Structure 1
Amino acid sequence: MLLSLRFCGQQDQPLVIQASVETISTQVEGGNRVETFSVQSDSMMRASDKSPLDKEALEKRFRSFNNADYIIQEYDFSGLSTGLSIPFKDLTALKNRLAFLLNNSVDVISPVELPKLQQHAKVDDKPGLSLLISDEKDAHLGDVTDADIYFKLPESFKKNCDKYIELLKRNPRFIPWFPAVLIGKDYLEAVRILEEVKPAHIVSNNTGVAYKAFEMGIEWIAGPFLNTTNSYALNTLQEDLNCSGAFISNEINRMQIRNLKRPPGFKLLYSIYHPILMMTSRQCFFQQTVGCNKPSIEDGCMLKCEKATTITNVKGISFAVDKQKGGYPSIYNDEQFLNLDVIQDYSNLFDEFFIDLTDIGSGSKAKLDKIQLIEHFENLLQGSEDAKIQLDSMVTVSTHAQYKQGL
């Protein structure tokens, strides 16, 4: 609907607002319909040098009517004398009266005032390191670090598959890391892992698995793919699902992170090194890139296929194309996310800084020495400037632009 606002007022007279609403009809018969509303202030207009009601002031006050229900087509100030004003509270009452009429004479619900949240103390005084692996061959990394080791579970499982149940029981130090997308039998198999392994705690990017963990009394952390960006989300996760911690989104910037308020006894985690996922699909990316002998995707492709390559578009920008066994085909940015600034900025806020040491998303790039990476990251947490230089030299193609840009 189109809305036109006409403002009229003279000294020692009330301010009058006339609103015309034009409803556009798509039918030939009847045409457009115009309704007119009029409201006036209780107080009289007085001369004012400090804050007169001029075109700019009134447009600023009434532009909120330009919303999902109305489009302001015109402001008319021809009937309003200059240098006049009414008290601010009277102008607000006038605006509310007009909003009531435009809302079919139904009271407009005021915005909810959210309570201010308290910043609670950290769980750990000094931030620790955690890392993600996806292959049991990397279990030896636990010999060189005390960091928490998360084990990435696939998106797809064979029915009644005990492979990962046995793997997690064999390696009690591995903390199960559940993916975001689990469909049908794959979700049921993920739940069976919880029931059989009964881990002390997990990381879940899937709210269904998180709810199941909550029902079973398993401590769980909200993974980075839940993209948590604000303090009220943290409170909701804790109060409704007994969540014990959460990864903070890498999409918010330094200033936005500063406003986060931690719930009591709640861990805050931040990923400082990981591949940047751009797209995940159930369709094959390799038939159009490196080729595949199969004419179309088969049932076994999801569980058996494992490929990785790098493609370059016509602008010279490269992307990593990756397909893990049990995973969906995915495209990754050629740059790794590497944010070392956040350690200096927010070691007093985060309990844990996370690094992804899987080979997923690396494309055809040479694999980095994982033991060296762990050593440099741990030294960086201890305040070593040399470690920062070493990491910058190892991870040559990286970015943390979002930490500066934000949402």
Structure 2
Amino acid sequence: MGHNAMRSNFELLAPGGDIESIKAAIVAGADAIYCGLDNFNARNRATNITFEDLNGIVRVAHQRDCKIFLTLNIMILESEIPAVIRLLNKLVNTKIDGVILQDLGLFHLIKQHFPTLDVHASTQVNSHNEGQILFMGQLNASRVNLSRELNIKEIKHLAQFGHQHNVLMEVFVHGSYCIGFSGLCYISSAKNGNSGNRGRCSQPCRDQYQTTAVGKDYPLNMKDNSAFSNLEALADAGVYSLKVEGRIKKSHYVYTVVDNWSRQLDNYCKQKPLLADTRELYTVFNRDFSNSYLMGDINKAMFIDNPRDNSVDHFAQIADAKSETEIQAVKQKLYDDKTTIIQTVEERIADLDISLLALELTIIGQVGQPLIIRVTTPLQQFEVASTSLLRQSENTVLDSDCFEKRFRSLNNGEYLLTPMNLTQLANNVVVPFKELTIMRDQITCVLNGDLPLVEPFELPKVVRVPQPSLTPSLSVLIANPADIDAVSQPNTAVYYQLPEAMAMEGLKLVTLFQQNPHLIPWFPAILIGDNYQAAVTFLEQVKPSRIVTNNSGVGYAAHQLGLAWIAGPQMNISNSLSLECLQQEFGCVGAFISNEIKRSQIKPIVAPAGFELYYSIYHPMMLLMSRQCLFHQTVGCKKKRFDDKCLRKCDKSASIINLTEASFVVDKQRGDHNALYNPENFLNLDIVAEVQNKFTGFMVDLRDIKTDTQVTVSKAELTALFNQYIAGNNELARSEIEAAIIGHTCNQYTKGL
């Protein structure tokens, strides 16, 4: 009975950035480990592992009751689809326990063609409401990693809801807090082309900024998350998987955190008192700890004005060490403690061997008898036999070359074929060669745990039908009723942004849309709890002819109600498979293509028949959205914590400048969360001419978000100019637009992912 037999209703899920960390997590008592291969995973900076390592890791983990999940949690580009299919064709015949995904196209591909793979929804999907859980459940996700911003009451509600719909909940319990909602953070992407949605986040939120009005140098840097003292509440909430963050951390960090959590879980399951001693957790890397998101207390004590390791400061404070000598003593003790941990890890993982297993084939047979192949590995021995009998032959005979060629594929990343033993085989004998193939498949099946291999899937070639020439239309996004008349022009669709605090505005909004039936509701990406329910009620009451949503939960609800819906730009759509997924699974009628990708990455995307494609050519660039208050650390705020009232009522803006002179705008609209914007708005007029006959429509975002971009004409004039430009690629209109919008960028379109 392994250490995990007690913990049947929990899983402790540990990070594994490299082989040492994976081994450390196994010996420290993890029930499961998530790790990435060298490609297609959201921790590009982790060392990651090769496919050859994977089978050995899975074998060693399984021997110790530990599961291995593989992270494929990034947006996939069209050009990468063949490579990702080649990878899945290999993975489906390994013994991995599941894959963690972000990209909708990948969910769809696996549901259609690799149904034996268990799939989990990554934190990058940003799940925080019931509709999103139903959406993910329909894509066969057996579990969903919930947004780190949720509190225990919200988590409990979703965990109970998940249980009713066969979806388990996973919650981050230890490691970094992000300042922004995951999957909706584009700051690293816009700043230097390293997208968090591609696992390349360069963490600009941890950068030093020019000292803010309240004296902070790291105004976006949050403490680390630790729910170590909240295990009972998480258990009561019905959370299944407790996830430790840290795939770029070293093995001694992983060992320490997993070991402490494992003991905490064991105590809970054996009804012993829970551990309160956090010394070891403070010994390894931390930015100090907070559990405030979990407690629903979003306060300014969650920030720390230092992104580096806080261990020395923590122990110096406890020891009341003031002088240089006293601090030196604290440092020395920490160094010694860490050295001890590193040695412990080295000793405990020394006998975990992930190297390939030797596979020995002994070939046996005389004339008139079946051919027998005896298979020997360190774990088992068995024989397979031919159905026909060996006969004498002068020309084609069974020799080592013929066996080498036929059985070479047994070197499959788990086994290493040793030279074959032919000493017990008569000379000049033969059986039909197709029998050798059958015997090889029988061997493979037994080695694969008596599971026949899954045949490789090949993506059918797309036959490109010449597109009828499209005349794209214009749509305009606004958020102020006063703008409705100005932008309601011929051939122009008007999107109206709904607030994230839907529950407060519900009735007022229903009236607005009933009075202006031509308005198309635009739903935000974040709709938590009552605000999601209010969004569904709005759909039921208004029954709009179509909607745009950046939240998949609203898309799910719209589909259930038979309403036409379009996936918004924050759904991060970057390939044809995602479009197919949206149309086939959820009755979606159209989608915005992500603004993170460039021309050469957009061009190969093919929409399914009758599916509409959109692209935003002008907008203030939201870099991240936070459930925290971004004013605490910048210009200050007299309120100690961020609550529902702030969400509803507060509107203000400020700016911060980092040391490389790049400035960012902090903006809070009434009814919305805090957001960080690029100083310059995005303007991409090139795409209209460069990508012909692909887009049904282009959008311009004229909401009142104060960035450094200046617009010298009215909204009505700007709308008319964009209309002229789109209708005929009108050069005069183009130069007028460029003159009217002062300060803009098209960086993301130039760089791409």
Distance 2:359 2:446 in 1: 7
The equivalent of 2:358 in structure 1 is 36
CA contact (8 A) 2:504 2:648 kept: no
The equivalent of 2:616 in structure 1 is 271
CA contact (8 A) 1:120 1:264 kept: no
| Letter of the structure 2 residue corresponding to residue 36 of structure 1 | A
Q: Relative to 1, partners in 2 of residues 1:131 and 1:43: Cα closer, same or farther, differing over 3 Å? A: farther
Distance 1:218 1:245 in 2: 12
Q: Quick check: 1:403 aligned with 2:749? A: yes
Counterpart selection for 1:349 from 694, 718, 742? 694
Q: Quick check: 1:363 aligned with 2:707? A: yes
CA contact (8 A) 1:145 1:374 kept: no
Q: Quick check: 1:221 aligned with 2:541? A: no
Distance 2:697 2:509 in 1: 26
Counterpart selection for 1:393 from 725, 739, 753? 739
What is the root-mean-square deviation of aligned Cα atoms in Å? 3.8
In the TM superposition, residue 99 of structure 1 has moved relative to its aligned partner by: 7.9
Q: Which runs of 5 or more structure 1 residues have no equivalent in the other structure?
A: 3-19, 47-57, 77-91
CA contact (8 A) 2:576 2:606 kept: yes
The equivalent of 1:333 in structure 2 is 678
Q: Relative to 1, partners in 2 of residues 1:29 and 1:236: Cα closer, same or farther, differing over 3 Å? A: closer
1:284 match: secondary structure = coil
Counterpart selection for 1:176 from 518, 521, 532? 521
Distance 2:669 2:573 in 1: 26
2:655 match: secondary structure = strand
2:720 match: secondary structure = helix
| Letter of the structure 1 residue corresponding to residue 707 of structure 2 | G
Q: Quick check: 1:323 aligned with 2:668? A: yes
CA contact (8 A) 1:205 1:222 kept: yes
Distance 1:342 1:336 in 2: 16
Q: Relative to 1, partners in 2 of residues 1:301 and 1:101: Cα closer, same or farther, differing over 3 Å? A: same
Q: Relative to 1, partners in 2 of residues 1:145 and 1:127: Cα closer, same or farther, differing over 3 Å? A: same
Q: Relative to 1, partners in 2 of residues 1:156 and 1:396: Cα closer, same or farther, differing over 3 Å? A: same
The equivalent of 1:167 in structure 2 is 512
CA contact (8 A) 2:710 2:743 kept: no
The equivalent of 2:647 in structure 1 is 302
2:559 match: secondary structure = helix
Distance 2:651 2:487 in 1: 26
1:165 match: secondary structure = helix
CA contact (8 A) 1:229 1:252 kept: yes
Matches within 5 A, 1:248-267: 248-267=593-612
CA contact (8 A) 1:100 1:106 kept: yes
| Letter of the structure 2 residue corresponding to residue 232 of structure 1 | L
Structure with a larger share of its residues in strand: 1
Distance 1:212 1:28 in 2: 51
In the TM superposition, residue 109 of structure 1 has moved relative to its aligned partner by: 3.2
Distance 1:190 1:29 in 2: 51
Distance 1:398 1:38 in 2: 66
- Percent of aligned pairs sharing the same letter: 37
CA contact (8 A) 2:678 2:707 kept: no
CA contact (8 A) 1:205 1:226 kept: yes
Distance 2:466 2:631 in 1: 49
CA contact (8 A) 1:122 1:267 kept: no
Distance 2:411 2:651 in 1: 55
| Letter of the structure 2 residue corresponding to residue 401 of structure 1 | N
Matches within 5 A, 1:68-147: 107-119=452-464, 125-147=470-492
Residues 33-81 of structure 1 show CA distances to partners (whole Å, capped at 9, x for unaligned) of 57422469977669xxxxxxxxxxx9xx99984xxxx7x9x9x9xxxxx
2:687 match: secondary structure = helix
TM-score by length of 2: 0.43
CA contact (8 A) 2:474 2:699 kept: yes
Residues 246-283 of structure 1 show CA distances to partners (whole Å, capped at 9, x for unaligned) of 11112222122221122121111111111222111111
Matches within 5 A, 1:46-57: none
CA contact (8 A) 2:488 2:494 kept: no
In the TM superposition, residue 128 of structure 1 has moved relative to its aligned partner by: 0.7
Q: Relative to 1, partners in 2 of residues 1:136 and 1:108: Cα closer, same or farther, differing over 3 Å? A: same
CA contact (8 A) 1:123 1:351 kept: no
Structure with a larger share of its residues in helix: 2
2:620 match: secondary structure = strand
The equivalent of 2:555 in structure 1 is 210
Q: Which runs of 5 or more structure 2 residues have no equivalent in the other structure?
A: 1-18, 21-54, 65-344, 364-397, 403-407, 419-436
Distance 1:255 1:96 in 2: 42
Q: Relative to 1, partners in 2 of residues 1:188 and 1:108: Cα closer, same or farther, differing over 3 Å? A: same
CA contact (8 A) 2:654 2:666 kept: yes
